């Protein structure tokens, strides 16, 4: 991804910026240590998927779930699945992974932890089985690079990001191609409502969903093929986005890498705050998923915009900055490069607030300057959209203008009717027309727009950054009980988005285990051993 256009310069104190990142690292490292010392059922199932296990039984329960539960029942999760699974294969319990999973679901296999030479042989066999999945991700990354070189990237910036969500993957494919022809550069297929809380990944092509389409490997493959077709037709590479979040975050990340998705929504705290998923489960899963994204060349989109749907966008602006800094730290620690950090922020200040547009510019410029090489994702107004579609259309126009003025990278298309009904195709066409007009008329505004020294925008940016540093300083100075961290305690008391989420509760907690001595997961070993992350 090419570097974003340089934004207007804010006179931020470099010492304050450095202090913010130092505090972020101090806050984030203990959470990384917890993530490294734990595993989850989804991390282990992702390893099985990379080894080629797929499919489901007649009740649509995936075979990876059956195998994981059978191993956990016999020997626990703390040693990982690799050793007991490949030990069973070497002992002749089954001829392949699929047969082993099928036999284990019927209670016909007993798993054990191999020792000494048998342990070494099982670990080698597991590593050999996972390598093809890694190789497929590598091949898909190189295929993306070739197609971008062949078709080219969109000429204008920011890229236009548009949502498709019918529930029927075949209808999504046709609507996505139509949206690309109408100017969209990135197609996001929204997941069916509630999929983030399913502790399994559905199988196959799906034709029914609730306010979205299920994320499955086959749906990924079908949509990628459709966008490749329209990319060749239009002469520009159309990117595909889905969601690596929820209880199956690692598995979906692995499937996305193998099917060449280009962007994945992947926020370090979204699942904790807005889906009540256990914090430790989330941080373990997101670290693995980001390691996969780093290797696959996938750009992540983070979810800071969601904080402003539950908290005031002026009063809580600094919490967005703190979250962006945290996502940057966690992302880079997992191997992501700047060009893969699609950090989020949003145009969510109440339009009735005096100077609201100037405040929005200040917040957008602050994000742009703090993360100059990141493909920032600028989100449209939603919280204060009403049934007045004319005012909504005007508000979306102001949002688009703010994006043009401040050098944003990815512009999500706002719909004037999204507060009333699920937008019609005609509404999407009008929304794309709004974006095209603003970008054509003001696309290079960053060359001319320069906030005056010590003016309203400069001072507001400094104020928000200062509040972010104060919050980081306050959190890091707090004591945390044994087994916790200051960040986990801050999440527990509702510091972000006014959501209180203790580390000892939440969905998916039962799927977390502390790694035992001798833990083995060849997927993690390969991800950490191979160097990836340089820009294509």
Residue 9 pLDDT level (bands cut at 50, 70, 90): confident
What's the CA angle centered on 121, arms 117 and 122, to 5 degrees?
A: 115
pLDDT band at 54; cut points 50, 70, 90: very high
Backbone angles phi, psi at 211, to 5 degrees: 60, 30
pLDDT value, residue 529: 86
Tokens of 147: 């197609």
Among 459, 496, 268, smallest CA distance to 366 is for 459
Q: Any idea where the domains of the chain sit in the sequence? A: 39-130
- 458-511, pLDDT tens digit by residue? 999 999 999 999 999 999 998 888 888 999 999 999 888 788 999 999 999 999
Three-state DSSP class for 424?
Answer: coil
User: pLDDT at position 2, please?
Assistant: 53
Q: How far apart are CA 431 and CA 73, in angstroms?
A: 52
- Band the pLDDT of 443: cuts 50, 70, 90: confident
What lies within 8 Å, CB to CB, of 297 at 6+ separation is: 141, 144, 145, 340, 532, 536
377 is catalytic: yes
* Per-residue pLDDT at 535: 41
- Contact by Cβ (8 Å): 411, 444: no
d(CA 414, CA 369): 24
Of the pLDDT bands very low, low, confident and very high (cuts 50, 70, 90), residue 536 is very low
Catalytic residue among 377, 393, 427, 507: 377
Residue of 220 and 415 predicted with greater confidence? 220
Dist. CA 346–CA 10, nearest whole Å: 19
Cα–Cα distance for residue pair 85/68, rounded to 1 Å: 9
Q: Averaged over 438-466, what is the pLDDT?
A: 93
Nearest to 105 by CA among 76, 79, 69, 75: 69
**pLDDT tens for each residue of 191-217:** 998 999 999 999 999 999 988 999 999
Whole-number Cα distances in Å, 237 to 159, 297, 394, 489: 11, 15, 30, 43
Interior/surface letters 436-448, b for 16+ CB within 10 angstroms, e for the rest: bebbeebbebbee
Distance (Å, whole) CA 346 – CA 364? 8
| Catalytic residue check, 270 | yes
- Whole-number average pLDDT of the chain: 93
Whether residue 437 has pLDDT greater than 60: yes
Q: Find out whether the peptide bond into 117 is cis, omega within 30 degrees of 0.
A: no
Question: Using 50, 70 and 90 to split pLDDT, how confident is the model at 531?
Answer: low
Q: List the single range of 43-57, 252-266, 405-419 with lowest mean pLDDT.
A: 405-419
The verdict on whether 177 is a catalytic residue reads: no
**Is the pLDDT confidence value at 102 over 60?**
yes
Q: pLDDT of 302-344, one tens digit each?
A: 988 887 878 899 999 999 999 999 999 999 999 999 999 999 9
Say which of 270, 307, 393, 519 is annotated catalytic. 270
Which residue is catalytic, options 305, 332, 393, 519?
Answer: 305
Pair 105, 134: CB distance under 8 Å: no
- 3-class secondary structure, 186: strand
pLDDT in tens, 105-155: 999 999 999 999 999 999 999 999 999 999 999 999 999 999 999 999 988
Sheet with 377-379, edge to edge strand ranges = 341-342, 299-301, 263-265, 239-243, 186-189, 159-164, 410-412, 377-379, 344-346
């Amino acid at each position: 991804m090419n570097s974003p256009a340089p934004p207007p310069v804010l006179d931020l104190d470099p010492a304050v910026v450095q202090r913010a990142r130092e505090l972020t690292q101090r806050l984030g490292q203990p959470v990384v240590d917890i993530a490294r010392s734990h595993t989850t059922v989804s991390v282990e199932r992702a390893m099985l998927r990379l080894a080629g296990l797929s499919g489901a039984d007649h009740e649509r329960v995936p075979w990876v779930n059956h195998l994981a539960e059978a191993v956990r029942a016999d020997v626990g999760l703390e040693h990982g699945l690799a050793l007991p699974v490949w030990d069973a294969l070497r002992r002749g319990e089954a001829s392949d992974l699929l047969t082993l999973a099928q036999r284990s679901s019927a209670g016909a296999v007993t798993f054990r932890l191999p020792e000494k030479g048998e342990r070494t042989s099982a670990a080698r066999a597991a590593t050999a089985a996972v390598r093809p999945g890694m190789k497929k991700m590598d091949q898909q990354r190189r295929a993306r690079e070739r197609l971008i070189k062949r078709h080219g990237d969109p000429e204008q910036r920011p890229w236009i990001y548009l949502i498709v969500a019918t529930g029927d993957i075949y209808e999504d494919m046709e609507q996505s191609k139509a949206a690309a022809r109408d100017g969209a550069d990135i197609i996001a297929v929204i997941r069916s409502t509630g999929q983030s809380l399913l502790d399994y990944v559905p199988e196959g092509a799906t034709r029914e969903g609730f306010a979205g389409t299920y994320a499955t490997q086959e749906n990924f493959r079908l949509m990628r093929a459709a966008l490749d077709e329209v990319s060749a037709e239009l002469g520009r590479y159309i990117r595909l986005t889905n969601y690596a979040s929820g209880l199956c975050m690692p598995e979906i990340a692995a499937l996305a890498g193998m099917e060449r998705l280009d962007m994945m929504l992947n926020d370090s705290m979204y699942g904790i705050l807005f889906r009540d998923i256990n914090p430790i489960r989330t941080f373990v899963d997101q670290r693995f998923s980001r390691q996969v994204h780093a290797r696959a060349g996938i750009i992540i989109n983070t979810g800071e915009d969601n904080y402003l749907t539950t908290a005031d966008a002026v009063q809580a602006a600094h919490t967005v900055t703190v979250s962006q800094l945290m996502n940057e730290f966690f992302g880079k620690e997992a191997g992501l490069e700047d060009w893969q950090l699609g950090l989020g922020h949003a145009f969510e200040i109440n339009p009735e607030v005096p100077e609201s547009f100037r405040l929005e510019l200040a917040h957008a410029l602050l994000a742009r300057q703090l993360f100059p090489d990141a493909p920032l994702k600028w989100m449209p107004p939603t919280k204060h959209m009403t049934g007045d579609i004319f005012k909504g259309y005007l508000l979306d126009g102001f949002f688009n203008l703010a994006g043009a003025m401040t050098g944003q990278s990815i512009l999500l298309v706002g719909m004037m009717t999204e507060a009333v009904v699920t937008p019609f195709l005609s509404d999407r066409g009008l929304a794309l027309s709004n974006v095209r007009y603003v970008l054509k008329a003001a696309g290079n505004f960053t060359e001319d727009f320069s906030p005056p020294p010590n003016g309203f925008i400069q001072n507001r940016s400094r104020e928000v950054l200062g509040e972010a540093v104060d919050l980081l300083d306050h959190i890091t100075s707090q004591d945390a009980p044994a087994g916790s961290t200051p960040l986990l305690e801050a999440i527990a008391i509702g510091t972000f988005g006014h959501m209180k989420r203790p580390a000892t509760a939440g969905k998916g907690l039962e799927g977390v285990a502390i790694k035992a001595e001798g833990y083995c997961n060849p997927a993690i070993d390969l991800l950490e051993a191979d160097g990836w992350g340089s820009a294509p």
